[in-house]
Amino acid sequence: MFAKLQCAVLDCVDVLELSRFYQALLGGVVNRPDPRWSLGEDWATLHTDGGFVLAFQRVEDYQPPRWPDPARPQQFHLDLGVEDLDRAQESVLGLGGTLLDEGGDRRGWRVFADPAGHPFCLVRD
């Protein structure tokens, strides 16, 4: 091993809006001072309670993925563990997320998009 994961970076138009969306999902602190990153209107961070850091980078001509359209693929996605899929879905939708694929009652995960269009899954713990 020669590298250590520092964070995952999501492109978007509004870095504060997206960081606050994920803060509502995961907890943590938006834009906690950290010498690794310079914060501003083009960059924000979310230090989660579990220690993982998500970063958000402003892209002027951002084009969101269109899951499952291969012409604009998701490129990567987050899997977020939850105890109750129905309650978590209600919370995500209330925060401005979009349901992309509910699946069936027998499946243990659902696909959503954040307000910037990035797909993510809620997975039953």
| pLDDT tens digits, 4-46 | 888 999 999 999 999 999 999 999 999 999 988 889 999 999 9
More confident residue, 97 or 74: 97
How would residue 77 be classed by pLDDT, with cut points 50, 70 and 90? confident
8 phi and psi angles, rounded to 5 deg:
-110, 140
Residue with tokens 């809620």: 122
What pLDDT is attached to residue 122? 92
Question: Residue 37 burial by CB count (10 A; 0-12/13-18/19+): exposed, middle or buried?
Answer: middle
Distance CA 30, CA 19 (A): 7
Average pLDDT for residues 58-75, to the nearest whole number?
91
Give percent of the chain with pLDDT exceeding 70. Answer: 98
Q: Is the pLDDT assigned to residue 3 strictly greater than 90?
A: no
Check residues 124 and 93 and name the one with the higher pLDDT. Answer: 93
CB 78 within 8 A of CB 10: no
Find out whether 27 and 49 touch, Cβ atoms under 8 Å: yes
Mean of the per-residue pLDDT values of the chain = 92
Which residues sit opposite 9 in a β-bridge?
55
Give the C-alpha separation, 108 to 123, whole Å.
6
* φ and ψ of 18, to 5 deg: -70, -35
pLDDT for the residue 125? 83
Query: How far is it, in rounded angstroms, from Cα 78 to Cα 92?
Result: 14
